[in-house]
Amino acid sequence: MPQVQPAHIHFDSTQTPISDQFDDVYFSNQDGLAETRYVFLEGNQLWQRWLQFSAAHFVIAETGFGTGLNFFAATELFRKFRAQFPDAPLKRLFFISFEKYPIPLEQLQLAHQAYPEFYEISQNLTALWEINGTPIEDCYRYHFNETTLDLWFGDINQQLPQLGDYMQNRVDAWFLDGFAPSKNPDMWNTDVFTHMFNYTKTGGSFATFTAASAVRKGLESVGFHVEKRQGFGKKRECLHGDKRADQPLNIATPWYFAQSAKFSGQANVGIVGGGIASLFSALSLLERGAKVTLYCEDESPALNASGNKQGAFYPQLSDDDERNIRFYIHAFAYGLQRLQWAIQQGIEFEHQFCGVALCGYNEKSAVKLAKISAFNWHSKLYQAMNQTELSETVGLPLPCGGGFIANGAWLAPRQFVQNAFALLEKLGLTIKTSQKITALSQQEQGWLLTNEKGEKYQHDIIVLANGHKLHQFEQTAHLPLYAVRGQVSQIPTSDNLLKLKTVLCYDGYITPVDLAQTSHCIGASHVRDCEDRHFSHSEQQENQLKIQKNIGLDWTKEVDTSGNLARMGVRCAVRDRIPMLGNVPNFSAQAEQYRNLFNLRRRKQAIPAATNYENLYLVAALGSRGLTSAPILGETLASMIYGEPLPLSEDILHALSPNRSWIRKLLKGTPVS
């Protein structure tokens, strides 16, 4: 799996950062900030356009993040605009940037010292930079109040196409700011210009510091109108321009094409659920100004799969599918950011950033961990450890080596979800409990929910996030979801168990002692196609025997489940071990429209976009990684609903698509029914 290589830089006598890879400055040593404002902000006429802008969000895309100076300047200008015109329709700024060689943290902080006016934004950025260590390729989403930064790490020639079909005609302005074309020709090429043009709205613009003829001709050749203007400082000229011709969408994978919601004014959203997926979907929707109502079947939220006393927070790294691994790494990075947000908001929940240890307790698990180690992850993500190192890290003797996820944690899921929902209620969320929704019906405008008492509720948009019960509606009956019962045992602590310093994973897991210093959680049982939530004596004993068998040392004899304290929950899972997210697909319509999909592709004939249920969305199949995956899934879903940039690469979005099981068959020419 490609790792991102850090930049190698030095600073000249004026403290201007210079790239060793490209032998070029990151910004002008005359006045980098003045250059940014002149070339990019004024070159794209941002202030004038914002005054006349009628949409709720504006999208800037940039070819080269560097020190972040352009991002800082654009964010500062947008904040001034919002302060001066608080009632303007434009509320949010999205800044998409590509960076092949991210600057190491210490040098980034040094570069930022030249611009103390951006201290607060810089502190936020460098804190996020530090959490992730060396990132992997693809997108990392960072929040800066009204501005959202999507940083795509890796070569722009590979990363730009991953914006995908969805981003066609959605970018409002481009900052072309790679190193000089003569020193970085790989970035200034026809493929990049073509993707730029396809992603740009009609009326969208670009600006760049260069006036090189190859750049001008390249931009013109793909369809941009290009003009020269006076350059900054000693530079004689620079370029800017716009896209004037309407362009139809050219969708390469119409069967997976994500479709945004249709609504006017404030979006009125109903969410069916009550767990971690519902929580983060509601949060991201509220942040966009939606009116959100939660319909929870139980008497309070977090009483099913999200209701354990302690749960582990870490990425799934042991899957053989690299795309799945990338999803969980990006989910983990975004989840860390959201947990820090929750702490800053004062949401009370027990937690400990203690790390998560993975044991190579038998030959099969040792082979899996060896595969993980072969990726050579940054130490903040994963460290391979021998038996002595792992035992010392965990605080108790172990019979084997393994690995350690330093940024992993445990937290109290029920406490977290319930207290976070309480905060969201203060932010405008309406929670309706004891609401068993039995039917969905599409109206001329929006959807009607019906509960078991026959009461009806109408909304523009519906989000289904009700776990293993999601496919009980007529519209979702064909989704290949299944229930997995899990029993988590709560055990008393002991002299040895108190020494446990990290979450410990084997063919199960045990958490460090809770903050009251009284108990631990171990588990969990895994019973497929079972929705029963009664206590099981056999599963309780199984949880105890599992750790004693797999670890097998004397201290595990102190694990005692005989008190019969446990929580039973039912998770929602799917065979390919990655969640589902997006539009609810209309199975019967898709089965008909794509019944000849194999031949249509072979003959290169026109293929229509998939038929989905308009304004109906889902988040499902989070399995045992809901704490890790729910934040990025909720954020991606809200962005999709609002037609905003998405924080995941197109290939990952395809893997998450709810219709993937039957589309894979249809693509091979296999009929579905």
Tokens describing residue 434: 């004891």
Model pLDDT, residue 181: 78
Average confidence (pLDDT) over 341-347:
96
Average confidence (pLDDT) over 128-145:
87
pLDDT tens profile 470-500: 999 999 999 999 999 999 999 999 999 999 9
524 DSSP 8-state letter: -
Domains of the chain, first to last: 9-242 (3.40.50.150), 254-304+415-481+576-667 (3.50.50.60), 356-406+482-573 (3.30.9.10)
Length of the chain: 673
What CA–CA distances, in Å, run from 412 to 24, 467, 515, 627? 49, 19, 10, 10
pTM of the model: 0.96
pLDDT tens profile 231-281: 998 888 999 999 998 888 889 999 999 999 999 999 999 999 999 999 999
pLDDT tier, 376 (very low <50, low <70, confident <90, very high otherwise): confident
Model pLDDT, residue 330: 95
- What is the percentage of the chain residues whose pLDDT exceeds 90? 82
2 pLDDT higher than 70: no
Model pLDDT, residue 361: 94
Model pLDDT, residue 574: 94
Q: What is the CA radius of gyration of the chain?
A: 26
673 pLDDT higher than 90: no
1 pLDDT higher than 60: no
Model pLDDT, residue 308: 86
How do 461-465 and 268-273 pair as beta strands?
parallel
Model pLDDT, residue 551: 96
pLDDT tens profile 652-672: 999 999 999 999 999 999 999
324 pLDDT higher than 60: yes
Query: Which of 106, 193, 110, 94 lies closest to 146, judged by CA?
Result: 94
pLDDT tier, 87 (very low <50, low <70, confident <90, very high otherwise): very high
Average confidence (pLDDT) over 580-590:
97
In 68-97, which positions are buried (b, 16+ CB within 10 angstroms) versus exposed (e)? bbbbbbbbbbbbebbeeeeeeebebbbbbb
The verdict on whether omega for the bond into residue 524 sits within 30 degrees of 0, i.e. cis, is: yes
285 pLDDT higher than 90: yes
Contacts of 657 (CB under 8 A, 6+ apart): 256, 580, 581, 582, 663
Model pLDDT, residue 28: 64
575 DSSP 8-state letter: T
Average confidence (pLDDT) over 287-312:
92
Model pLDDT, residue 378: 85
A 10 A CB-CB count for 59 gives: 25
- The chain-wide mean pLDDT, for the chain, equals 93
pLDDT tens profile 189-244: 999 999 999 999 999 999 999 999 999 999 999 999 999 999 998 888 999 999 99
Residues 168, 16 contacting (CB under 8 angstroms): no
Model pLDDT, residue 142: 96
User: What CA–CA distance (Å, rounded) separates 118 from 107?
Assistant: 16
Cα 158 from chain centroid? Answer: 19
pLDDT tens profile 23-67: 667 676 668 899 999 999 999 999 999 999 999 999 999 999 999
- What is the percentage of the chain residues whose pLDDT exceeds 70? 98
Tokens describing residue 118: 């951006």
- Name the helix (H) or strand (E) containing 383: strand 383-385
134 pLDDT higher than 80: no
Model pLDDT, residue 11: 78
Model pLDDT, residue 249: 87
Burial (0-12, 13-18, 19+ Cβ within 10 Å), 442 = middle
Model pLDDT, residue 333: 95
How do 509-510 and 519-523 pair as beta strands?
antiparallel
15 pLDDT higher than 80: no
